[in-house]
A and B are shown apart, each in its own frame.
Chain A
Amino acid sequence: MEKTVNQKAWFLVLPVLVLVAFSAVIPLMTVVNYSVQDSFGQNNFFWAGLIWFEELLNSERMWDALGRQLAFSAIILAIEVPLGIFVALNMPKKGFWASVCLVLMSLPLLIPWNVVGTIWQVFARVDIGLLGYTLDKIGVDYNYTQDFFAAWATIIVMDVWHWTSLVALLAYAGLQSIPNAYYQAAKIDQASRWAVFRYIEFPKMLGVLMIAILLRFMDSFMIYTEPFVVTGGGPGNATTLLSIDLVKMALGQFDLGNAAAFSIMYFLVILAISWVFYTVMTNLDKRDAG
């Protein structure tokens, strides 16, 4: 017999709801409101209908930025997730060195975004930066301010440097929760290292791994500060990701209507993808529980 769902407890979150309405829901509604209007400054607004949405849907600039953004998120996920798992698998399980590893792993996560951006901005410079200078000296043609490939490589390596440890720590937490009996059983069956990973470690890690992927996806999809500090969106528009483009539009050009329409579409994409992740995650939990 399945239990019925009782939703009454939701009333207990009413105070939070009021606070969130004031600080998030109503501002979001304002964005929707701006997206159908045009402003010439001095808070004078005129009805514009769906013009901004139509313009954006036919604008190469928006699709290019979206393409770059999806590519960026896909690349960093493709690197950080396997690398994070690899690191977690090779970390000591207990003792002094386990603690040392954990502290080392959490260090990059403590550094603010703009500081990470500045570190890499300097580190990768050809004239004074250690990385840029070394690469230049050994004959690699590397200049992230002028070369498309170098700019992309820099912001991707920077993101991997900053966030792989998050994936590693979450995967490590997943690994630690596996009871020893599983490994003993695998030993009795003379399972190979790969089989242990494939049939014990990976399935047990999957729950936290989905959280890691969701967090990394959302963060990378909304990334602004780090690439902005390092490349400023350049060379040309090579690293102008969605949020950088949005800020240019909203604050640089003060196109409120256009930027509002942009924000809504941005929000919808994030909402849709996050919903898919969330659904997969909760279904995994249910499968594990049941």
Chain B
Amino acid sequence: MAWMAWTTPTAIFFLVIASLLVIFTILAIKFPETPRRGVLGIDTTRGDRLFITLLGSAFINLAWLGLVGAELQPYALIVCLVYAVAVFRFV
């Protein structure tokens, strides 16, 4: 795999996303759900909320990087976590 120049951080990044997808797939099969309507006024399933969380987190990270700077980047993940909880609770 050396010719593709993979690095450990990118590997971890994709492993986290892949395992999230696997977990949510298993959850969707084991515990079927009905879509629910939250603050956005749209029907969402767990998977939809995961998508909103991941996409939003990407923007949160970029905004943090642009406004705060790279040194404090890990703290952006805290914001993402709060955002994720909010999405899963209210959307």
Contacts and interface: CB of A to CB of B under 8 A. Distances in A.
Contact of A271 (B29, B55, B70, B73): B55
A2 B65 contact: no
Interface string A28-59: 01101110110100010101011101100110
Interface stretch (A4-12, A89-97, A104-112, A134-142): A4-12
B6 A33 contact: yes
A99 interface: no
Interface string B15-26: 000000000010
B78 interface: no
Given A54-B70, A57-B65, A32 B10 contact: yes
Given A5-B35, A50-B70, A57-B66, A33 B4 contact: yes
Interface in A180-238: none
Interface string A257-274: 000000001001001100
Nearest to A275: B55
Contacts of B51: 275
Contacts of B25: 7, 10
A57 B7 contact: no
Given A2-B34, A54-B65, A286-B43, A268 B59 contact: yes
A205 B35 CA distance: 27
A8 B29 contact: yes
A5 B62 contact: no
A146 interface: no
A272 B65 contact: no
A36 B43 CA distance: 36
A45 B62 contact: no
Interface residues of A, number: 34
Given A43-B3, A45-B5, A57-B66, A33 B10 contact: yes
A279 B49 CA distance: 13
B58 interface: yes
Contact of B29 (A7, A32, A39): A7
A66 to B, nearest CB: 12
B5 A272 contact: no
Interface of A: 2-8, 10, 29-30, 32-34, 36-37, 39, 43, 45, 47, 49-51, 53-54, 57-58, 265, 268, 271-272, 275, 279, 283, 286
Given A6-B32, A51-B70, 4 more contacts: A30-B4, A33-B4, A45-B7, A283-B43
20 contacts: A2-B34, A4-B34, A5-B34, A5-B45, A6-B32, A7-B29, A29-B10, A32-B14, A33-B5, A33-B6, A36-B7, A45-B5, A50-B70, A50-B73, A51-B70, A57-B62, A57-B65, A265-B62, A268-B62, A275-B55
The 10 A-B pairs of least Cβ separation, nearest first, read A57-B66, A45-B5, A4-B32, A7-B28, A33-B10, A2-B34, A50-B70, A268-B58, A54-B70, A279-B42
